[in-house]
Structure 1
């Protein structure tokens, strides 16, 4: 029986490459001259250290832009609370979301079942397995999930006939 998986994955090596590009750009930009602002990948997330709130916002834009160039959507990022550091400097952790959490999985399953498509959806850990009798039904399910306005981007893998 044909099937496919709905997953939410991030290539962490691409995140690392994007962060390195951001650091390279920070070193060459005039508005960051003399700044101690840094960005690094740690613990499956991104740690930002900026001189002030303005530089933090500029770094957010740089990170978003470089990640989008590398195929990572902004919805994969979860910005944590901004913590004050020494002086006027601030630090922030940005978690990179991977996997579909239970609430979002239940929402997707409910929407697909409510659409009366001839497919079955099963939650398997942090991914969803969608099975159906016809390939056309699965392609319709993929398009239906793409049209849902989900807060976290999803990918479709392991399409099998």
Structure 2
């Protein structure tokens, strides 16, 4: 029975490379000289440190550009609130999304059921497995999910015939 897995997993190697490239650019840019602007990756959290909100926004723009250059979707970033850190410095933490949250998985499952296609969607941990009798139905489900679930950077793995 043909099936595929719907997943939401970034390539962490490319994320690390993008953060390293962004840190290198921050170190060489003239407008960041003498400031406390910094960016670093720990586990699946990217910390942005700057002197002001405007500088944090610049750091975020640099990071998004580097992620796009590396082929990583910027929707993987889940931005936290801006926090004041000692003195006049500010910090923002961006978590890198990995896996499909339960409520999003239920939304995907509901969309598949409402599509009236002859396929089944099953939530398995942090992925959703869609199986059906026809390959064309599975491809129609992929197109439907790409169209309807725009807030998630979904990818489809493990396509089996």
- The normalised TM-score by structure 1 is 0.96
1:35-54 pair list within 5 angstroms: 35-54=35-54
C-alpha distance after superposition, 1:14-64 (max 9, x if no partner): 111101100111112111111121100013110111111111010010011
Q: How does 1:37-116 map to 2 (within 5 A)?
A: 37-116=37-116
Runs of 5+ in structure 1 lacking a partner? none
1:145 aligns with 2:145: yes
1:22 corresponding residue in structure 2: 22
* SS of residue paired to 1:106: helix
Count of residue correspondences? 161
Q: Measure the CA separation in 2 of the matches of 1:69 and 1:112.
A: 33
Q: Runs of 4 or more off by more than 2 Å in structure 1? A: none
Distance in 2 (CA, whole Å) between partners of 1:139 and 1:152 is 18
- Distance in 2, Cα, partners of 1:93 & 1:124: 29
Aligned counterparts of 2:101 and 2:69: Cα–Cα separation in 1: 26
Query: What RMSD in Å do the two structures reach over aligned CA positions?
Result: 1.0
What is the TM-score when the length of structure 2 is the normalising length?
0.96
Quick check: 1:9 aligned with 2:24?
A: no
Alignment gaps of 5+ in structure 2: none
1:55-88 deviation digits (Å, cap 9, x = unpaired): 1010010011111111211211111111111221
2 CA distance for matches of 1:63 and 1:51? Answer: 17
